[in-house]
Amino acid sequence: MGSKIIGLGMYVPPKTMTNEDLEKMVETSDSWIVERTGIKLRRIAERGSATSDLCLEASRLALADAGVSPSEIDIIIVATCTPDMPLPSTACFLQKKIGAGRAFALDLNAACAGFLYALSTADAMIRIGRGKKALVVGGEILSSVTDFTDRNTCILFGDGAGAVVLSECPDGEGVLSCHLYSDGNLWELIYAPGCGTVNPCGPEIVEKRMHAIRLAGNEVFKQAVTKMTEVSLEALQRNGVSVADINLLVPHQANMRIISAVGKRLGVPDEKVFVNLERFGNTSAASVPIALTEARERGRMAKGDLVLLTAFGAGLTWGSALLRM
Ligand code: UT7
């Protein structure tokens, strides 16, 4: 047995933050941001809304798309690095809000690679018989861990959620393979030092903006290009397919230059690479399921297509998955 995606959904909050808005907050310009990242706009959640609220909206749409009721869900996995609270898990809040009474629910944090880690985990659970249907969600309110006085990071991130419903299927359909990697030695390239056990939350931590994401942009950039290319090739090799067989590449939406470099190294033509980061920025774990949902909505992906996913994030973490839609 394997698993396949039978429903897709996404949600982004209505409030937008443009590059022009950021020009008023830090020393930056629309032209710099567009040229260096490709981002024009990001969505920002209202203060007081929870990551699980965004996940709920995306999940409702994914379940409706699948024609599956919440009571049929056995497994809920939420990939997030911005949970509602340290405990309980955001997945438990989502379970309550959506009414998936019989599911077991857990969070998973692999930062921007989180959705691929969650997809792989849910797929493996279905394969070993832990359940037949899973709700796999990537959701983030990154604006809650963004330092809006730091121009190196505040231009990059946005809020949102994407969800898929995975269902048991015969082997050789759906999720064909997943490939995951981590390198904790390089944790200092992207991290948020405050409000964990090492630097417990307090006024001083927040004052020093230690709750916010710090990024060695240039080094992350190089690592992201190398690792996403390598792990994408691994997915193709494992399945005995060539780049020409791929109908669509759906990469993590961090930076247009990273996406272009990965596409170029793999030899995937631009028209087979899905990009929507100009409107949402980097939404971390939400980026891949949001992109997948939009790709199908825009007619870029059809039943039977071979779709390659790849992502890279803090940890470091990275991965790929090859899907037969
Ligand atoms: O989701 C996975 C994790 N994240 C990523 O994948 C992000 C990966 N990294 C990147 O996307 C890029 O490295 C950035 C967009 C973050 C930065 O682009 P870059 O081309 O690597 O620029 P840089 O950091 O090398 O900075 C170049 C210059 C610097 O000025 P000097 O030192 O050359 O005078 C920066 O201070 O640009 C300056 N700079 C800015 N200027 C205007 C940095 N941020 C800004 C800004 N506006 N917002």
**Which residue's CA is the nearest one to ligand 1's atom 42?**
28
Q: How far apart are CA 325 and CA 317, in angstroms?
A: 25
Judge whether 105 and 76 are in contact, CB under 8 Å.
yes
Q: For residue 319, what are the contacts with CB-CB under 8 A and spacing of at least 6?
A: 110, 113, 116, 117, 120, 178, 179, 180, 181, 231, 310, 311
Overall pTM > 0.85: yes
Judge whether 13 and 45 are in contact, CB under 8 Å.
yes
Most informative mutation of 36, 80, 229 for ligand 1 (most atoms within 8 A of CB): 36
Quick check: CB of 152 below 6 Å from ligand 1? yes
In the chain, alpha helices (H): 19-23, 30-37, 51-66, 90-98, 114-127, 203-207, 217-239, 256-266, 277-280, 287-297
Judge whether 114 and 313 are in contact, CB under 8 Å.
yes
In 71-144, alpha helices (H): 90-98, 114-127
pLDDT digit of tens for each residue in the chain (325 aa)?
899 999 999 999 999 999 999 999 999 999 999 999 999 999 999 999 999 999 999 999 999 999 999 999 999 999 999 999 999 999 999 999 999 999 999 999 999 999 999 999 999 999 999 999 999 999 999 999 999 999 999 999 999 999 999 999 999 899 999 999 999 999 999 999 999 999 999 999 999 999 999 999 999 999 999 999 999 999 999 999 999 999 999 999 999 999 999 999 999 999 999 999 999 999 999 999 999 999 999 999 999 999 999 999 999 999 999 999 9
The atom number, within ligand 1, closest to the CA of 312 reads 2
In a 3-state reduction of DSSP, which class is residue 233? Answer: helix
